Structure 1
């Protein structure tokens, strides 16, 4: 049975973990309904276990979000970069999410850092580029779709040779493709509306500090089934 590896790069807020599960659990819940019989999910906590699994035994890789910052260059995070480069060279299917998105872009020659406009949190509209509309993973999405977002850092410069698949008014790089089966997204396809609301409640003070209205953001949280469908469709490429 082939393994799809979930690379855990951090922990969700304790109240989110208690009510809905940690980052890896959110991925597992979204994927479980579409997991073919020949695949199984395995979790590797990259923060706590520095030994990277051998790429030869992996059918695909999913990289979670984190409350860490890529620009802090923590040793565990930096150690992932050569492993990700080897996975790209090996044409191992990959999908990075939020921190995973920023880490992949940074590993492949881009730049991830704090966004000058501040934090983007809540349910927001994301738009496909022309390349995104033709991409094998993204082409089944509508040109505009809703997605859950919570991030202070962004991919500020995409790696040379990558393709921008989606963007919005806050972020020029909402989705990138690096190779035939290697993608990353800034938004959270694993989040439910309940998880997004829990994040906004925790971030109220920070959002107020940057001039946002948390109550409005909470009222605008909706289900994002189209964005979530990316996780399940990714399985077709492993």
Structure 2
């Protein structure tokens, strides 16, 4: 893939903090993005909006706006979430490309009139297979990505009702709306294109007790869930490609 011809300014809205074990092992959420995308050709401003960091007056100084995942839930809306959502929608209306990841995807869906709720299919964690829809195969976000690809995932909430006018670009059995096109320049992905396998390993280790308890409540034998998830972790080369597609094809 060609390198960007000029330095692009990217505003990364940080929506939460990773667990301490995760931060010690693989860094916090924003570092996953920086390492996966790389700094050659890109300049990032990191804004911890979940800590009420002031938002800029507008996004005119940026080529793109991204939002990270979060351990927090859109279903428990806080004032900072509303402010961040308004900022992203205004940026999009003024022509700035916007990409939401996991929590960011859900916040965009809610802001555009969709509905987010706890997933009735249960938590999705680990390396999962995602399939493109017809719309996804034709979308620039997935240029060069196979119809069925591996992705890292960790979430309990999902977009239950897709906003009017949005197109579903990808899904799987657990989560029908794994990727959405909200507007021509606005995308959301439920999975984590920025996360390498070692990040999911750290997440699973940090949540091992809760994951095991959930598995046992579903009828799984004690002690099987975490080893199964860890052994199933695989590389996900589509992730970096998707992020670079967004930064190169939408800006």
In structure 1, distance between residues paired with 2:228 and 2:126? 10
Q: Does 1:223 find its partner at 2:232?
A: no
Structure 2 CA distance for aligned equivalents of residues 62 and 82 of structure 1: 14
Aligned residues: 235
Q: Structure 2: which 5+ runs fail to align? A: 1-6
SS across alignment from 1:160? coil
Counterparts of 1:128-207 in structure 2, within 5 Å, are: 128-207=132-211
In the other structure, the counterpart of 1:10 is: 16
Unaligned runs of 5+ in 1: none
CA–CA distance in structure 2, aligned partners of residues 194 and 74 of structure 1: 31
Which residue among 26, 49, 64 is the counterpart of 2:52? 49
1:56 partner SS: coil
Task: Identify which of 60, 63, 70 aligns with 1:59.
Answer: 63
The Cα of 1:50 is off from its aligned counterpart by 4.2
Supply the distance in 2 between the matched residues of 1:62 and 1:43 (Cα, whole angstroms).
10
Could you report, residue by residue, the CA deviation over 1:106-129 in whole angstroms, capped at 9, with x for unpaired residues? 111111111112211011100000
Matches of 2:140 and 2:242 in 1, distance apart?
Answer: 11
The two structures have a TM-score, normalised by structure 1, of 0.94
Contact 1:64-1:96 within 8 A present in 2 as well:
yes
Work out the CA distance in 1 between the residues paired with 2:163 and 2:95: 17
CA contact (8 A) 1:114 1:153 kept: yes
Cα contact 2:18–2:71 (8 A) shared by 1: yes
Partners of 1:149 and 1:186 in 2: CA distance:
8
Distance in structure 1 (CA, Å) of the matches to 2:12 and 2:186: 15
Greater mean deviation of Cα atoms: 111-120 or 153-162: 111-120
Structure 1 CA distance, aligned partners of 2:214 and 2:133?
Answer: 29
Shift of 1:227: 2.2
Q: CA deviation at 1:146?
A: 0.5
Deviation at 1:180, TM superposition (A): 1.7
Q: TM-score, normalised by structure 2?
A: 0.89
- Separation of aligned partners in 2, 1:45 and 1:9: 6
What is the CA–CA distance in structure 2 between the aligned matches of 1:15 and 1:203, rounded to whole Å?
A: 10
Q: Let me know the Cα RMSD of the aligned residues.
A: 1.4
Describe how 1:70-89 pairs up with structure 2 within 5 A: 70-89=74-93
* Greater mean alpha carbon deviation, residues 161-170 or residues 107-116: 107-116
